[in-house]
Chains A and B, each alone.
Chain A
Amino acid sequence: MSALVQIDNVSFHYAKDTAVLKDIDFSIDKNSFVTLLGPSGCGKSTLLNLIAGFHPTYDGRIEFEGKQVKKPSKDQGFVFQDLALFPWLSVRKNVEFGLKMQKVPKEKRETKVKKMIEMVGLSDYDSFPISSLSGGMKQRVALARTLVTEPNLLLLDEPFSALDAQTRDVLQDELLQLHTKLSTTTLLVTHSIDEAIYLSDTVILLSKNGTIKDIVNIEIDRPRERTSSAYNFYQKKLYDFLKEERQSL
């Protein structure tokens, strides 16, 4: 397996502020599912934004598909913490947006959009305005809007944090199914230990001070049983990490 994203010695600070991220080193293999886990404010969103090319000036080197990241690339798909759906467009038009911007011909666009909306189970809602959808449905639209452009890397910033527990579980399974089906390399930011273990091949633990504390490979076969002893083993491990972080405040 080769690395799709390679991060070497990256540090970053916002204008005038002290460093938010320090000496970050890791890589993301093609087709893998990687999670960034850490306490609030440790720089998870910042790191995701750096990889997405939203902050072009940083120290060190970030490579995506072998090229240094300097600006957003259409080969990366980003799902924002606040979803950033376009409220003036219907479900279908939202999903179509990226393809339209990338000048995909109309006919091809329509088949792709239709298929994608089916895949996330929203066919009956395709002409609905965004404001009329539930939280989980909005989440599906955001995912569909990003995945329809067939990105090589999917970046997700706490996509499920605003949802109730049941909807979250359902959507986690759907995300895994999509990940398996489309084999899109995925980097997910989360607060949730359970989400990290349930979904990922690798969990990167970010410390309060903006460094990587540890990188943990989750070696459990899928589908994962939340009650298995292996699952509990990782739960305890990650829980101890977050507890330590809290105490180091």
Chain B
Amino acid sequence: MSMVLRKVNRWKMGWLAVLFVLVVWSAVSLNYPSYVFPGPVDVFKEGVNQWEKGELTSHIVVSLKRLVIGFFLSAIMAFLIGILAGASRKFREFLTPLVTFFQATPPMAWAPLLIILLGLGDAPMIAVIIIASFFPILINVMQGMNHIPESHVQAARSLGAKGWRLGYFVYLPEITPAAISGIYVGFAISWRSLVAAEMIGGNSGIGYFIAFNGQIGNTSSVILGILLIGFMALLMDYLLLKPLQKRFAGWASRNENE
């Protein structure tokens, strides 16, 4: 019962924050003509307008499709390579300088090259997402591998686990909590990088939508685009990441509460 109450309370505070932003935004916007800095009502109207035209929806769908494909590919590769690197010291030593190098380069910096190499469509955008999210996930998977208690592996082996079964039934669950932290970080970086890449060299996607409307001076649509970016990140968090964490890494937070 008290948990339900706490939940309601948390939601209330969340809505209060939204209300606060709306009030400040309205107040500031009153000092400007609406074509320079539109207020909430103008942006809402623009949203309805765009919704009816349908173009914006297709930009959103394009961006989300890229994100999901790129992220999925990246996570699978990072898991496989991270497990191998955790298991083999030589491979780990080989990877370390590469990881450091790629970690230091902003994923966005690759976009111009990738666009020249791969054209204007989905491919360079998916590549940016992979570059942005692969390394955070990889690093976390490797760390997870490092922290597997030796006795868990020994116990599993003495119970008859070996080969891929040892990997699938022991290593994989052991590293999942760490990997999911990596997925969180990777998700945030890749979503931002994707939008930025679409802004500088795309012909579709939510980033392109913002850049295009900026050029034609449609400030209402620019703000609408920014809001949608944040809103979609929230949505992904609630619909995808949180359930993923709960399902596969819930046991780890339970242990912390002990």
| Residues of chain A having any CB pair with chain B under 8 Å | 52, 54, 72-74, 76-78, 80-82, 84, 86-88, 97-98, 100-102, 129, 131-132, 145-146, 149
Shortest Cβ gap from B3 to chain A (Å): 17
Whether A97 and B158, one on each chain, are in contact in the complex, defined by CB atoms closer than 8 angstroms, is no
Asked whether B199 is an interface residue with its Cβ less than 8 Å from the other chain, the reply is no
- Complex contacts, A146 vs chain B, CB 8 Å: 159
B96 at the interface (CB under 8 A from A): no
The interface residues of chain A lying within 8 Å CB-to-CB of B255 are 87, 131
Q: Is the CB of B160 within 8 A of A78?
A: no
Report whether B158 and A76 are in contact in the complex, using a CB–CB cutoff of 8 Å: yes
- Interface pair B254/A80, CB less than 8 Å apart: no
With the chains together, A149 CA to B159 CA distance in Å? 8
Give complex CA distance A217, B241 in Å.
60
> Is A87 within 8 A of B159, CB to CB?
no
Residues of A within 8 A of B254 (CB): 87, 129, 131-132
Total A-B contacts with CB atoms under 8 angstroms apart: 69
> 16 A-B Cβ contacts within 8 A?
A52-B154, A74-B160, A80-B155, A81-B151, A84-B151, A86-B155, A86-B156, A86-B173, A87-B254, A88-B173, A88-B252, A97-B156, A101-B159, A101-B162, A131-B251, A131-B254
The residues in B between 114 and 158 inclusive whose CB is less than 8 angstroms from any CB of A are 149, 151-152, 154-158
Assess whether A97 is in contact with B169, with CB atoms less than 8 Å apart. yes
Whose C-beta in chain A lies nearest to the C-beta of B258? A131
Which residue of B154, B162, B258 is within 8 Å of A80 (Cβ)?
A: B154
Question: Across the two chains, which residue of chain B brings its CB closest to A74?
Answer: B160
A78 and B251: CB pair below 8 A? no
Quick check: B160 and A98 within 8 Å, CB to CB? yes
Assembly CA distance A77 to B174 (angstroms): 22
Q: How many residues of B contact A (CB 8 A)?
A: 24
Q: Which of A72, A88, A149 has the most CB of B within 10 A?
A: A88
Q: Contact: B156 with A101, CB < 8 Å?
A: yes
Given contacts A101-B156, A131-B254, 9 further A-B contacts (CB under 8 A): A54-B154, A72-B154, A74-B158, A82-B149, A86-B170, A100-B169, A101-B161, A129-B254, A149-B159
Cβ-based interface call for B12 (8 A): no
- Residues of B at the A interface (CB closer than 8 Å) are 149, 151-152, 154-162, 165, 169-170, 173-174, 176, 251-252, 254-255, 257-258
Q: Report yes or no: A84 in contact with B173, Cβ–Cβ below 8 A.
A: no
Partner of A74, one of B151, B152, B159, B169: B159
Contact of B251 among A52, A88, A97, A101 (CB under 8 A): A88
Known: A80-B151, A101-B169. A87 touches B158 (CB 8 A): no
Contact between B258 and A149, CB atoms less than 8 A apart = no
Measured in the bound complex, the distance between the Cα atoms of B154 and A77 in whole Å is 11
Q: Are A87 and B165 in contact (CB under 8 A)?
A: no
CB B244 to nearest CB in A, in angstroms, measures 14
List chain B residues, Cβ under 8 A from A102. Answer: 159-160
The 9 closest A-B pairs by CB, nearest first: A98-B159, A84-B151, A84-B155, A101-B160, A74-B160, A88-B251, A101-B161, A102-B160, A88-B173
Q: Say yes or no: A78 contacts B154, CB within 8 Å.
A: yes
Nearest-CB residue, chain A, relative to B257: A131
A98: chain B residues at CB < 8 Å are 159-160
Residues of A within 8 A of B169 (CB): 97, 100-101
In the complex, A88 Cα to B255 Cα: how many Å? 9
* Contacts A78-B155, A131-B255; A84 near B160 (Cβ below 8 A): no
- Chain A residues with Cβ under 8 A from B161's Cβ? 97, 101
B89 to A: closest C-beta gap in Å = 15
Chain A nearest CB, measured from B121 CB (Å): 41
Chain A residue with the shortest CB-CB distance to B159: A98
For B152, what are the chain A residues with a Cβ–Cβ distance below 8 Å?
Answer: 84, 86
Chain A residues lying within 8 Å of B149, measured Cβ to Cβ, are 82, 84
